[in-house]
A and B are shown apart, each in its own frame.
Chain A
Amino acid sequence: MTEIPLIGEVAAAAITPLAGARIGVVTFPGTLDDRDAARAVRLAGAEAVALWHADTELAEVDAVVIPGGFSYGDYLRAGAIARFAPLMGKIVDAANSDAKLPVLGICNGFQILTESHLLPGSMIKNDHLKFICRDQVLRVENANTAWTADYTQGQEITVPLKNQDGQYIADEKTLDALEAEGRVVFRYVGFNPNGSRRDIAGISNAAGNVVGLMPHPEHAVEAGFGPEQDGGHSVDGLGFFTSVLTQIVGGK
C-alpha cells in the first residue's frame, strides 16, 4: 500500500535529488501547506525532509522552509506561540550562525520569522478585514538572496496569495532601513491586497539567507495547478526552490 506520510507522497517528477540536497519542511500543529512545500522542494530536485515542531535537532538539512497555515490555531497572534517551539530555537541559531542556514518563511512562516526576530516588523489583519485568496503579481526587488537568485532583478512573477493577517507593518525607520539595504525582496504589483506598508510582500535579513513573504510560491510550481496565466498555469514559484538549491550545490 501507499503510505500516507504527514507531508509528501508526491511522486511527480522523479528527479534524482540534486547532489543529495536536503531541505527541511517544518510542521507545527495547524500547519496547512507543508505537503505543498515538500512537493515544491521535490519538483525543484531536492529531498524534502519532514521536520516536527517538537524536534530538537535539524536533521542535517541544508535549508529550511517554514510553510503556511495557522500554527497552534494562531488564536493569540499569528506565529506568537510557534516561535517558542523547540525546533525554532535551532532554526534561529542556525540562521544566525556563520553557516547562515537558508530559511524561507511563507505566510504563517513569515509571521513566525518576525515573531522569532529573524525578520523585522509584523503582520496585522488585512485592511479590508477579510480573508483574501487571489493570484497576485509580485516584483522581485532583490534577486541576490538565497531564495531569489534564479530570478532577475525587477522580474514580475505570479503566485497565489491567501491570508487574513497579511498587512505588513513596521515603523518608518525600519522601513527606510529595509529599503536602503535592499532588504525589500518582493513588492505587490498592481494591487495591494492587504494594506501592507510600501506594498511590501516579502523581506530578508541583512545577510540574505532568511526570506519571508506572505504570498505562496509553493502553490505555483506545477503546470495544471496554481494561478492561471496566459491560458496555462504559472510555475513562477519554482525559482525560490531552485535558487536555494543552486546556492547549496554551488557552495556559498
Chain B
Amino acid sequence: MTQETTAKFNIDTVANAAGTPEVELPWAELGLKQNEFEEIVKLLGRRPTGAELAMYSVMWSEHCSYKSSKNHLRQFGQKVTEEMKKDMLVGIGENAGVTNLGDGWAVTFKIESHNSPSFVEPYQGAATGIGGIVRDIISMGARPVAVMDPLRFGEIDHPDTARVMHGAVAGIGGYGNSLGLPNIGGEMVFDAVYQGNPLVNALAVGVMRHEDIRLANASGKGNKVVLFGARTGGDGIGGASVLASESFDDTKPSKRPAVQVGDPFAEKVLIECCLELFKHSLVEGIQDLGAAGISCATSELASNGDGGMQVELTSVLLRDPTLTPGEILMSESQERMMAVVTPENVEAFEAVMDKWAVEYSWLGEVTDTGRLIITWDGEVIVDVDPKTVAHDGPVYDRPYARPSWQDALQADTFTGSVQDAGRPATSGELAAAVTELVASPNMCDKSWITKQYDRYVGGNTAMAFPDDAGVVRVDEETGLGVALSTDANGRYTYLDPYQGAQLALAEAYRNVATGGAVPMAVSDCLNFGSPEDPDVMWQLAESIRGLSDACMELGVPVTGGNVSLYNQTGTTPIHPSPVVAVLGKLDDVARRTPSGWREDGQAIYLLGTTAAELDGSEWSKLRGHLGGLPPRVDLAAERTLGEILINASRDGMVDAAHDLSEGGLAAALVESALRYNVGARIGLGEVAERDGVDLFTLLFSESQARAIVSVPRSEEVRFNDMCTARGFAHARIGVVDSASGTLEINGVDALPLDALREAHEGTLPKYFG
C-alpha cells in the first residue's frame, strides 16, 4: 500500500532538502513571513522539507504560537500570589489548567474560540468548537461534565445574522447534545461590530480524582506512540494558520475547505474509551488533535517529554489515500487523540479500542535522541528539534499605542448627547422604557437558543440559564459542585480596554458568588482584531494588563485560555472582547441561590450603590450611542459583595439573588420577577436620595458591585447585621408579592408580568422563527 501511495508524490526528504537549497518553497502561501522562513532555515541549517515547512507554518501561526500576545500573557503567570497558587494543581501551558476542589476531587475547565470557522460554515464551525474544547478536557484525564457557549453575532435584523444564528446554535446543539454534556449557560450579544466576524466561544468543564490527572508528554524510551479515533482526512487543512490567523476580505478565494467537519458520535465514543484507558492507567501521556493536527500532537508530546520521537507517517489511517505528507501533518480532522503507551500495556490498550470499536494505528515510539523524526515509508522527511516547532516559535513585540481617537471617544458621554434627548421621566415613559429594554435583542429572553440544548443529561445540573451561574454537582455523596459563568462587554472594553477586561472578570466573579459559590479560578478567551494594528495591539495589551491586575486583586488565578486575533472585517476590528470565565466551588449544590423570587412577603434588598453611569450601557445602545467611560471598577467592593452573597447562601439568609449588570436594576427586577412569574412592590425613593440619582438613573445605570436579593422575614435582622458589619451599602427596596402578577415600582406605571413576558420572550422568535 505504501509503495502505491508514495509513487503519487515527489517526496521531499531531508537528504533531498540538504542537496537542493535552491528549491522555492510556498512559505508565504502557508502564512509564514519572510523573517520566519529565514529563522526556520537557520534553525535547521538547511532549507526545510515540504513536510517540515507544513509543520512550522501551522505551529508558528498566531493561533498556535501566541507570537503576538505571548509577551503580554506572561503577566497571568507573574501576577500570582502564593495564596492563589495553593489550589492550582496544573497551571497555564497544559491542555487545560486543573484546580483542587477538595475531598480528592479536581476540576479542569477552559474556554476557546472557534470564531472564523463559525462565520464560514456556522454549523460545523460551532460544532467542532465544542468538540475541540471537550477533547482538551479529556486530555487532562477528566470526565467532561458540562459545556457553555458565549456567542456574539451581528445586528439582530441584518439578513446574514439568521444564517449564522441558526447554524451556530444548531451546531452547538447537534454536537453537544450528542455527547451527553449538559449545556448550562453562556451569553448572546448582538452588535454590528460582529457582523462579518461573529464570536463563537466554547467552554467545557471536567472533573477527576487527583490521581487521574494526565499530562501531554512523551517520555520513556521505547514507549509506543499511537493515534486513535477518527481517520485523518482532508478537512481543516491549514485551519489554524490560514483561517484563524488572517482577516477575511473579499479578494481571497472561499475558505470553506479549511473548516473541519465534526462527528459527535465518534467524539462520544472517544470520551468513554479514554476514560476507560485512564481507569486502567493504560496511557503515559495523551494529547488531543486540534489545531495543527499531527504536527501539534507529535511536536508538543515530544517537546514536553524527556527525549525524542520517531514516527512513520504512512501508518496514519486515512479517509483519503491521496493526501500528501504535508497535508496529513496539517489536517485538522476531528475526534482524534494521540497517546504514549508502554510496551506492556499495548495489548490492554488494543482491547479497550476493540471494545469501543475505535480505530487506532501505532505510529512509532519515544526515543532518546532529542529529535522528532518523521519518516515516509522509511525515508526521513522531518528531522527537527521538537522544541523549535512547539515552543520556540517567533515572539513579536508588536508596536502599540493608545489610539488617536480614544480621547475623543471617552469625552463623548451619553448624558447630554443628541441621543439622550427626551430621556424618559414620567411614570408612563419609564414603564415604556423598562419594557423596551427587556425586549431589546441583548436583554431579551434567550430560551429560543437554550431550549435547543440539553441541560438535564447527567442528572447533576443544579442550576442553568437563565440563572446567574450554571451549577453542576461533582460528588453525589456530599453534594460538592462547581459553578461557572462567562462574561464580556465589548462596549465597555472599547471605551476603556483596561477597565473593560476588569469589568468582564468582575461580572463573572459576581455571577458565581450570586449563585452562592466561592470563586476559585479563571479561564479567558481574548477575542481581538489584528495585532498588526497598533490600536488593536494597545487594546489587547491594556486588556491583559487590566485582567491580570484584577485577578491578583480578587485572588483568582488564570489557569488557561485562548487568544483569538485577526477578528476583523477588512480593516475594521471587532470591539475588543475579552470573554472571562470564572469557576467557583459549592460545598453543597443544594444551597445554590437561584435568581427568581418565590416566597410571598420576602423582603427585597438592593446591595451596593448607584452612580450616574450610563456610558456604554444597554440603554445607550438602544439610543444608538457609544462613548464616554465605562462604569467604575471597584474590586474591593466586588470582593465584599461576593462574601456577603456567599455567606448569605451558606447560612440560608437569602432565597434568591440576581446580579446587576447589563440593563442595570430595571433588567434585574424584571428577570427576577419573570423567573418564577412572581411579582413585587418596589420603592426606590430612599435609595435614589441616598445615592443622589434620579429614578431613571437608578433603573438604567450599570454601576458595578450591585445585586438584588430576597430575604425571608426571619432572616432580615441577621442579614442587615452582616451587611452593616462589612460596611456594605444595603437598602430594603420592596417585598415579593406573589398574588399581584405585577411588578410595581413607585413612580413607574404598573408592569403586568404577562405583558413583560410577552415583550421579553417575543424578540428572538420574531427574528428567527
A residues apposed to B, CB below 8 Å: 1-4, 6, 9-12, 29-30, 32-33, 35-36, 39, 69-70, 72-75, 130-134, 160, 162, 164, 216, 218-219, 221-222, 224-226, 228, 231
Q: Point out the residue from A11, A73, A219 that lies within 8 Å of B456, measured CB to CB.
A: A219
Are A133 and B452 in contact (CB-based, < 8 A)?
yes
B314 to chain A, nearest CB (A): 29
27 pairs, A vs B, C-beta closer than 8 Å: A1-B104, A3-B279, A4-B143, A4-B275, A4-B279, A30-B269, A32-B179, A32-B457, A33-B457, A36-B457, A70-B268, A73-B264, A131-B173, A131-B452, A132-B452, A133-B450, A133-B452, A133-B453, A133-B454, A216-B456, A218-B459, A219-B459, A225-B459, A225-B460, A225-B462, A226-B459, A228-B676
Q: Point out the residue from A2, A4, A130, A226 that lies within 8 Å of B452, measured CB to CB.
A: A130
B356 to chain A, nearest CB (A): 6
Whether B351 is near chain A, meaning CB under 8 Å from some CB there, is no
Tell me which residues across on chain A come within 8 A of B265, comparing CB atoms. Answer: 29-30, 70, 72-75
B558 to chain A, nearest CB (A): 28
Q: Which residue of B lies closest to A54 (CB)?
A: B355
Are A162 and B177 in contact (CB-based, < 8 A)?
yes
B residues apposed to A, CB below 8 Å: 104, 143, 170, 173-174, 177-180, 209, 211-212, 263-266, 268-269, 272, 275-276, 279, 356-357, 450-462, 473, 476-477, 589-590, 598-599, 676
Tell me which residues across on chain A come within 8 A of B266, comparing CB atoms. Answer: 73
Taking A133-B450, A228-B676 as known contacts, 8 extra A-B pairs with beta carbons closer than 8 A to each other, sorted by chain A number, are: A1-B209, A70-B265, A131-B173, A133-B453, A160-B456, A218-B459, A225-B473, A231-B598
Are A134 and B451 in contact (CB-based, < 8 A)?
yes
Bound: A85/B126 CA distance, A: 32
Are A6 and B452 in contact (CB-based, < 8 A)?
no
Q: Point out the residue from B170, B174, B456 that lies within 8 Å of A133, measured CB to CB.
A: B456
B426 to chain A, nearest CB (A): 36
Tell me which residues across on chain A come within 8 A of B275, comparing CB atoms. Answer: 4
Q: Point out the residue from A29, A36, A164 that lies within 8 Å of B357, measured CB to CB.
A: A29
Bound: A218/B456 CA distance, A: 10
B220 to chain A, nearest CB (A): 23
Are B459 and A6 in contact (CB-based, < 8 A)?
no
A191 to chain B, nearest CB (A): 12
Bound: A11/B103 CA distance, A: 15
Chain B, interface SS category: mixed
Are B458 and A1 in contact (CB-based, < 8 A)?
no
A72 to chain B, nearest CB (A): 7
Tell me which residues across on chain B come within 8 A of A226, comparing CB atoms. Answer: 456, 459
Q: Which residue of B lies closest to A34 (CB)?
A: B180
B663 to chain A, nearest CB (A): 23
Tell me which residues across on chain A come within 8 A of B276, comparing CB atoms. Answer: 6
Q: Point out the residue from A12, A39, A216 that lies within 8 Å of B477, measured CB to CB.
A: A12
B674 to chain A, nearest CB (A): 13
Tell me which residues across on chain B come within 8 A of A3, comparing CB atoms. Answer: 279
Q: Which residue of A lies closest to B597 (CB)?
A: A231
Q: A1-B209, A4-B279, A11-B476 are in contact. Are A70 and B178 (CB under 8 A)?
A: yes
Tell me which residues across on chain A come within 8 A of B476, comparing CB atoms. Answer: 9-12, 39
Bound: A73/B269 CA distance, A: 10
A22 to chain B, nearest CB (A): 21
Tell me which residues across on chain B come within 8 A of A70, comparing CB atoms. Answer: 178, 264-265, 268
Are B462 and A224 in contact (CB-based, < 8 A)?
yes
B124 to chain A, nearest CB (A): 15
Q: Which of B179, B276, B451, B453 has the most CB of A within 10 A?
A: B451
Are A32 and B477 in contact (CB-based, < 8 A)?
no
Are A73 and B178 in contact (CB-based, < 8 A)?
yes
Q: A3-B279, A30-B265, A33-B180 are in contact. Are A225 and B209 (CB under 8 A)?
A: no
Are B589 and A224 in contact (CB-based, < 8 A)?
yes
Bound: A90/B180 CA distance, A: 26
Tell me which residues across on chain A come within 8 A of B357, comparing CB atoms. Answer: 29
